[in-house]
Structure 1
Amino acid sequence: MTATSSTLDGRWRAGLTGLLAAAAGIAVAELLASFGDPGSGPAVAVGGVLVDAAPTPVKEFAVRTFGTADKPVLLSGVAVGIAAVAVVVGLLAARRRWFGLAGAALFAVAGAAAAVSRPSAGLLAALPSLAGGVATALALSALNRRRASGTDPATAHPATAHPANAQTANAQTANAQTANAQTANAQSVSAQSTNAQSVSAQSTNAQTASAETPNAQSTNAQTPNAQSANAHPVSERPASESSASRQLGNAQPASDEPTSRGFRGRFAPAPGRGLRAPGTPDVARFDRRAFLQAAAAVSAVTVAAGAGAVVTRRVRGGAASRDRQAVRLPTPAEPAPPLPAGQDPAFVTANRDFYRVDTALTVPRVDLESWRLRVHGRVEHPLTFTFAELLQRPLIERHITLNCVSNEVGGPYIGTAKWLGVPLAPLLREAGIDPGADQVVARSVDGMSIGTPVRTVLDTADVMLCVGMNGEPLPLEHGFPVRMLTPGLYGYAGACKWLTELELTTFGAFDAYWVSRGWAARGPVKTASRIDRPSSFGHVRPGAVPVAGVAWAQGRGIDKVEVQIDDEPWRPADLLPVPSTDTWVQWRLTWTATPGPHTLRVRATDRTGAVQPEQRATPFPDGATGWHTVTVTVDD
Structure 2
Amino acid sequence: MDTALLRRTWGLRRHAVAGVLAAALLLAIGDVVARFFLPAASPLVALGSTVIEFAPPAVQEMAISVLGPLNKPVLFLGMGLVGAAAAAGIGAIGRRRPLIASGVFLGVAAVLLVAVARRPETGAGDLLPGLLGAAVGLAALLGLWRLAGSGAAAEHPAPEPHADPDADPHSEPHPEPHSGPWPGSRPGSRRAFLAAASGATALAITCFAVGRSIGAFGRGVGERLVELVLPQPARAASPIPAAASVDVDGVPPFITPNDDFYRIDTALVVPELEPGEWSLRITGMVEEEVSLDMSELLDLPLEEHHVTLTCVSNPVGGDLLGTATWLGFPVRDLLARARPLPEADMVLSRSVDGFTASTPLEALTDERASLLAVGMNGEPLPRQHGFPARLVVPGLYGYVSATKWVVELHLTRFDQDTAYWTDRGWDEKGPVLVASRIDVPRPLATVPHDEVVVAGTAWAQHDGVAAVEVRVDDGDWQEVELAAEVTVDTWRQWRLPLDGVEPGRHAVTVRATSVSGDLQIGERRDPIPNAATGHHRIEFQVE
Task: Find 2:423's aligned residue among 508, 516, 530.
Answer: 516
Quick check: 422-431 or 313-322, which moved more? 313-322
Q: How much does 1:575 deviate?
A: 0.6
Q: 1:180 aligns to what?
A: none
Q: How much does 1:132 deviate?
A: 2.3
Quick check: 512-521 or 371-380, which moved more? 371-380
Q: CA separation in 1, counterparts of 2:154 and 2:303?
A: 82
Kindly indicate whether residue 377 of structure 2 is the aligned counterpart of residue 441 of structure 1. Answer: no
Name the CA shift for 1:576/1:294 in 2 (closer, same or farther; >3 Å): closer
Kindly indicate whether residue 316 of structure 2 is the aligned counterpart of residue 409 of structure 1. Answer: yes
Q: Is contact 2:467-2:482 (8 Å) kept?
A: yes
Name the CA shift for 1:100/1:327 in 2 (closer, same or farther; >3 Å): farther
Q: CA separation in 1, counterparts of 2:186 and 2:398?
A: 62
Quick check: 380-389 or 424-433, which moved more? 380-389
CA-to-aligned-CA distance 1:151-188 (integer Å, 9 cap, x gap): 989977xxxxxxxxxxxxxxxxxxxxxxxxxxxxxxxx
Q: 2:523 aligns to what?
A: 615
Task: Find 2:168's aligned residue among 224, 237, 243.
Answer: 243
2:328 is aligned with what amino acid? G
1:339 is aligned with what amino acid? I
Task: Map residues 464-543 of structure 1 onto 2, 5 A cutoff.
Answer: 464-543=371-450
Q: CA separation in 2, counterparts of 1:409 and 1:132?
A: 45
Q: Is contact 1:41-1:111 (8 Å) kept?
A: no
Q: Is contact 1:543-1:594 (8 Å) kept?
A: no
Q: How much does 1:560 deviate?
A: 0.7
Q: How much does 1:148 deviate?
A: 6.8
Equivalent position SS for 2:315: coil
Q: How much does 1:24 deviate?
A: 1.5
Q: Is contact 1:489-1:525 (8 Å) kept?
A: yes
Q: CA separation in 1, counterparts of 2:128 and 2:193?
A: 30
Q: How much does 1:290 deviate?
A: 4.4
Q: 2:219 aligns to what?
A: 317
Q: CA separation in 2, counterparts of 1:480 and 1:148?
A: 52
Percent sequence identity is 40
Equivalent position SS for 1:95: coil
Q: 2:250 aligns to what?
A: none
Equivalent position SS for 1:342: helix
2:218 is aligned with what amino acid? R
Task: Find 2:505's aligned residue among 597, 622, 625.
Answer: 597
Name the CA shift for 1:468/1:96 in 2 (closer, same or farther; >3 Å): same
Q: CA separation in 2, counterparts of 1:123 and 1:153?
A: 42
Name the CA shift for 1:385/1:287 in 2 (closer, same or farther; >3 Å): same
1:611 is aligned with what amino acid? L
Q: How much does 1:634 deviate?
A: 1.4
Q: 2:327 aligns to what?
A: 420
Q: CA separation in 2, counterparts of 1:611 and 1:326?
A: 46
Q: 1:360 aligns to what?
A: 267
Q: Is contact 1:525-1:554 (8 Å) kept?
A: yes
Q: 1:559 aligns to what?
A: 466
Quick check: 284-293 or 138-147, which moved more? 284-293
Q: CA separation in 1, counterparts of 2:125 and 2:457?
A: 48
2:161 is aligned with what amino acid? P
CA-to-aligned-CA distance 1:450-505 (integer Å, 9 cap, x gap): 11111111113311111111111111111111110110000111111111111111
Q: CA separation in 2, counterparts of 1:317 and 1:23?
A: 25
Give the count of matched residue pairs: 531
In structure 1, runs of 5+ residues without a counterpart are: 157-227, 254-268, 274-282
Q: 2:237 aligns to what?
A: 336
1:329 is aligned with what amino acid? P
Q: 2:81 aligns to what?
A: 80
Over aligned residues, Cα RMSD in angstroms?
Answer: 2.6
Q: Is contact 2:368-2:394 (8 Å) kept?
A: no
Q: Is contact 1:598-1:633 (8 Å) kept?
A: yes
Task: Find 2:478's aligned residue among 561, 568, 571.
Answer: 571
CA-to-aligned-CA distance 1:536-584 (integer Å, 9 cap, x gap): 1211122341110111111111111111011321110011111211111
Name the CA shift for 1:398/1:8 in 2 (closer, same or farther; >3 Å): same
2:70 is aligned with what amino acid? A
Q: Is contact 2:146-2:187 (8 Å) kept?
A: no
Task: Find 1:399's aligned residue among 306, 309, 314.
Answer: 306
1:347 is aligned with what amino acid? F
Q: Is contact 1:112-1:128 (8 Å) kept?
A: no
Task: Find 2:536's aligned residue among 613, 628, 636.
Answer: 628
Name the CA shift for 1:80/1:496 in 2 (closer, same or farther; >3 Å): same
Q: CA separation in 2, counterparts of 1:622 and 1:147?
A: 56
Q: Is contact 1:528-1:603 (8 Å) kept?
A: yes
Q: CA separation in 2, counterparts of 1:633 and 1:52?
A: 44
CA-to-aligned-CA distance 1:71-110 (integer Å, 9 cap, x gap): 0110111111211111111111111211231222122122
Q: Is contact 2:437-2:458 (8 Å) kept?
A: yes
TM-score (norm 2): 0.91
2:234 is aligned with what amino acid? A
CA-to-aligned-CA distance 1:37-73 (integer Å, 9 cap, x gap): 2122122111111111111221122122222111011
Q: CA separation in 2, counterparts of 1:477 and 1:357?
A: 10
Name the CA shift for 1:551/1:9 in 2 (closer, same or farther; >3 Å): same
1:323 is aligned with what amino acid? L
Q: CA separation in 1, counterparts of 2:172 and 2:16?
A: 44
Q: CA separation in 2, counterparts of 1:148 and 1:516?
A: 51
2:266 is aligned with what amino acid? T
Q: CA separation in 1, counterparts of 2:193 and 2:80?
A: 25
Equivalent position SS for 1:419: strand
CA-to-aligned-CA distance 1:505-557 (integer Å, 9 cap, x gap): 11122111111111110011001111111111211122341110111111111
Name the CA shift for 1:348/1:110 in 2 (closer, same or farther; >3 Å): same
Equivalent position SS for 1:440: strand
Q: CA separation in 1, counterparts of 2:112 and 2:15?
A: 23
Q: 2:4 aligns to what?
A: 3
Kindly indicate whether residue 44 of structure 2 is the aligned counterpart of residue 143 of structure 1. Answer: no
Q: CA separation in 1, counterparts of 2:486 and 2:27?
A: 51
Q: Is contact 2:95-2:150 (8 Å) kept?
A: no
Name the CA shift for 1:427/1:153 in 2 (closer, same or farther; >3 Å): closer
Q: CA separation in 1, counterparts of 2:32 and 2:451?
A: 60
In structure 2, runs of 5+ residues without a counterpart are: 248-252
Q: 2:31 aligns to what?
A: 30
Q: 1:185 aligns to what?
A: none
Q: CA separation in 2, counterparts of 1:393 and 1:585?
A: 31
Q: 1:90 aligns to what?
A: 91
Q: How much does 1:422 deviate?
A: 0.4
Q: CA separation in 1, counterparts of 2:124 and 2:50?
A: 16
Q: 2:161 aligns to what?
A: 233
Q: How much does 1:134 deviate?
A: 2.4
